[in-house]
Structure 1
């Protein structure tokens, strides 16, 4: 479990326990409302815990589909492999799932990282190379 998930579970646990303790101090309808709030808090967290990874997958798919035309426009003769962070695996929990890696066939030892904010807001956020000191062939320079 990632540290972020531990904090989420502790926060939800504290809120739910607070509602349960409060229900023992209250009487009548307020007791019922307090218990109802505790159950609803737990249920909402369970739904969030199930839906959130699916939401991330959907957003990543949309971003990859926006990146493909961008790469075709900027590198019409190039071939590439697009990979994303397997955010559901434990070893990758600390990495940003929205960063998309692109490896060009003409430069297989280099990886370029792209961020997609919107259709017109796509930019390289980084790059890396396995070995050698060659220049990066597909490095995009920013004019600021």
Structure 2
């Protein structure tokens, strides 16, 4: 299946921010800073910290140069400024099968699919820092 992206007419509300590669360390640092100042955030990280998704209220989300803000579209996190085609509603179930995440968190970005368990507990700063 061919996946294409187009710019959204109106951005989605930001519900998360994602980073991969070298950007993860900067996003982790700002996430820790925000949590220590009272923000209630959730996080899901890839093996060996290859990627990080931080979820929370839009005003509390951390920032890192190169990170991508995500919003919910059809049960999948996608960039707030871009829309996949076919639409996210049609992609959700195939992505869950592809990533073997029956009830997990899936983020679809251009050229990248991130999947992991849906975080349930507020972020533990000690766990994220280690």
TM-score by length of 1: 0.21
The structure, 1 or 2, with the larger RCO (C-alpha pairs under 8 Å, 6+ apart) is 2
Larger radius of gyration: 1
Higher strand share: 2
Higher helix share: 1
